[in-house]
Amino acid sequence: MPGCRIFVSGDEAVAEAVRLARPHVISAYPITPQTVVVERISDFVEDGSLKSEYLHVESEHSAMSAALGAAAVGARTFTATSSQGLLYMAELLPYVSGARFPIVMMNANRTLATPWALLSDHRDSLSQIDSGWIQVYCEDAQEALDMIIQAYRIAEDPRVMAPIMVNLDGFLLTHTYEMVELPGQEEVDAFLPPYRTGNKMDLDDPKTVCYAAMDEYMEFHMKQELDMRKAPAVIAEVDRAFGDRFGRSYGGMVEPYRCEDAEVVLLTLGTVTGTARVVVDAMREEGHRVGLAKLRFMRPFPRQEILEIAGRVKAMGVIDKDISVGYEGIVFTNVNSSVCDLASPPPRINFIGGLGGRNISKGHVRGMFGQLLKLAGGEGMERIQFINVGCEHNG
Amino acid sequence: MDRPKVVEYSKPLCVEDYPCGAFKAGHLVQDNAGWRVFRPVIDQQKCVRCLRCFLVCPDGAIDKSGDRLEIDYGFCKGCGVCAYECKLGAITMVREGDETDAGL
């Protein structure tokens, strides 16, 4: 089938990409706002356009357990979840990453209870950054589609062999519609060859997976870390190869936007990047030297890219759609641990917003840049600022 | 008794040489006798070879191939199920290293 343009939601774009990636096994449990992904994939298996084994499981814990079992015999696998579902499968995440199975999972970013809420923030996925999974965050449906395809190639690369979580902001991206370029099957097949691995159970060459290795646990995990350090180069390489073949590339670990001569830079994750781009363009026209850097990956963390940007700006802001209660935003903590290696790091503000889906508007982003420009001018600013809180507060 | 052979295992010299995921299977790098605090000792005078201990041993560590039942101390982890189940009281659990071990 040749490529074409289709009008789809973020969830549908993911489902289309999964069909193109031809996984052997799909194992998933529906949860809002991921549901459309598994419904569409189920349709594809039913109508024969995707020849996969589709496992209807009774929970997210079982979804990841079944995906692990399939991966253990060398199958290409896919699963998808969100929010409470991700936390329910959390036990399995280090199992999968430690066993070095390249499972690809879509996560629809949705907040965590309590209070119960359905809308988007990043508290679910960021709670799992220590699980050994690569994490990528998408800005729009096209990037989501492209990253599912790229994710298999990155995850299955023998230098990496790590599972990947592809994150889409719930509703903001999963349920909004846009025109998307759908690559042709032959082109995708050429980009993403069938998965072949020695990391599997095999009767002819008996191996054990998910073994006990109490004496050598530390060495296994040190190897996992050393291999993960190779992932940024592989991510950049796959991004270039994808660009050469399909004409779209995303800049690897970080996409800087109008940062070259910027005095202040705002770091973003996910869909809020789109809002911030518009504000950067408007403020540039007014003569303000502002820029943004879209953090595409949270693990492995883009330390080097952040250092390069931080080294030449006068102030830096980090938007966190999450909070580690008792400290600060999780992205901010990670950025700080990189930036503190500079001899004179720029002053920084953590903008915490969007919790439980609270809107972050162009006006709010403009306000953040205003704060950063004042900070760059030497004014003292609150280190952590809550954005768009609905009433008076002392934060 | 048909036991898997313990093979000498040498650890990789370098972290990079560790396997990426799956590890070679089907070889035994150590027996499990080190777990044991008490060892079962069979009083051959009392034993009538009913094979109850043979059936209940979770590790298959009781050898019935010879005239007398014998315990494979390389694999017995000292759980004591055999002594508990023996109707004749022919099996005694003796603390490892105890000089009063009459069976040895």
Question: What pLDDT is recorded for position B93?
Answer: 96
Q: Which residues in chain A touch residue B29, judged by CB atoms under 8 angstroms apart?
A: none
Q: Tell me the two tokens of residue B15.
A: 């972290």
Residue of A nearest to B25 (CA): A207
Same domain, A215 and A294: no
Cα separation, A152 vs A160, whole angstroms = 11
Sign of CA dihedral A333, A139, A143, A101: positive
Residue B17 distance to chain A (closest CA, Å): 9
Cα separation, B6 vs A204, whole angstroms = 21
Number of domains in chain A: 2
Same domain, A195 and A341: no
Asked whether the beta carbons of B100 and B94 are under 8 A apart, the reply is yes
Cα separation, A306 vs A286, whole angstroms = 26
Nearest to B11 among A158, A200, A216 (CB): A216
Instruction: Give the residue numbers spanning the domain of A305.
Output: 254-386
- Chain A residues contacting B via beta carbons under 8 Å: 99-101, 158, 161, 198-201, 206-209, 211, 213, 216, 219-220, 222-223, 226-227
Same domain, A185 and A272: no
Last residue of a domain, one of A246, A271, A304: A246
Pairing of strands A348-352, A290-295: unpaired
- CATH number of the domain within which A355 lies: 3.40.50.920
Same domain, A109 and A214: yes
ipTM score here? 0.79
* Confidence bin at B100 (pLDDT 50/70/90): low
* Confidence bin at B28 (pLDDT 50/70/90): confident
Question: What pLDDT is recorded for position B97?
Answer: 83
Number of domains in chain B: 1
Same domain, A62 and A142: yes
CB-CB neighbours of A284 under 10 Å: 14
- Domain contains B25: no
pTM: 0.90
**What is the edge-to-edge ordering of all strands in the sheet holding A315-320?**
A254-257, A290-295, A264-268, A315-320, A348-352, A384-386
Please count the residue pairs, one from chain A and one from chain B, whose beta carbons lie less than 8 angstroms apart. Answer: 46
Return the H-helix or E-strand segment holding A309.
Answer: helix A303-310
Average pLDDT for residues A11-29, to the nearest whole number? 98
Same domain, A270 and A210: no
Question: What pLDDT is recorded for position A1?
Answer: 62
Same domain, A260 and A213: no
- In tens, the pLDDT along A155-200 reads 999 999 999 999 999 999 999 999 999 999 999 999 999 999 999 9
The separation between the first and the last C-alpha atoms of chain A, rounded to the nearest angstrom, is 55
- In tens, the pLDDT along A58-79 reads 999 999 999 999 999 999 999 9
Same domain, A329 and A219: no
Asked whether the beta carbons of A332 and A318 are under 8 A apart, the reply is yes
Whether residue A208 and residue B24 make contact (CB cut-off 8 A), yes or no, is yes
Question: What pLDDT is recorded for position A212?
Answer: 72
* Residue of A161, A208, A210 best to disrupt the B interface, most CBs of B under 10 A: A208
- In tens, the pLDDT along A346-390 reads 999 999 999 999 999 999 999 999 999 999 999 999 999 999 999
Instruction: Give the residue numbers spanning the domain of B62.
Output: 32-95
Last residue of a domain, one of A246, A266, A287: A246
Question: What pLDDT is recorded for position B2?
Answer: 72
Name the average pLDDT for chain A. Answer: 96
Cα separation, A177 vs A142, whole angstroms = 11
Nearest to B15 among A198, A211, A223 (CB): A223
Same domain, A82 and A190: yes
Last residue of a domain, one of A246, A276, A293: A246
Question: What pLDDT is recorded for position A282?
Answer: 98
Q: Is the pLDDT of residue B104 over 60?
A: no
- Domain contains B104: no
Residue B41 distance to chain A (closest CA, Å): 31
Q: Is the pLDDT of residue A2 over 80?
A: no
Q: What's the farthest any 2 CA atoms get from each other in chain B?
A: 57
- CATH number of the domain within which B86 lies: 3.30.70.20
Average pLDDT for residues B60-71, to the nearest whole number? 94
Question: What pLDDT is recorded for position B11?
Answer: 86
